[in-house]
Amino acid sequence: MQLVTLEISDDYYDKFLHVVDALPLGKVNFKNDTLKNELAQRIEAIDSGKEKLTPYMDGMNDMLQRVKTKYADS
């Protein structure tokens, strides 16, 4: 079996799925790389400023403070 990667315009995607459905069952497998799509969406959100990022050390200090507060009397 051969593997082909296609880039399909968003406005044509639904029409393309109809073409895939018309192909013989079992002869063509359609795989959607959801992880790659999710990463692309997150990168776009970061680049556009919709997603706020926390610097590594700020996050680690916050986590350490929460652990100290929770287990201070242990």
DSSP-based three-state secondary structure for 8: coil
Per residue in 47-62, pLDDT (tens digit) is: 999 988 889 999 999 9
Nearest to 32 by CA among 59, 58, 6, 63: 6
> Is the pTM above the cut of 0.75?
no
Instruction: Please write the tens of the pLDDT for every residue from 17-26.
Output: 888 888 888 8
Which residue is listed with tokens 């799509």? 37
Report pLDDT for 6: 85
pLDDT digits over 22-47, tens only? 888 888 887 777 788 889 999 999 99
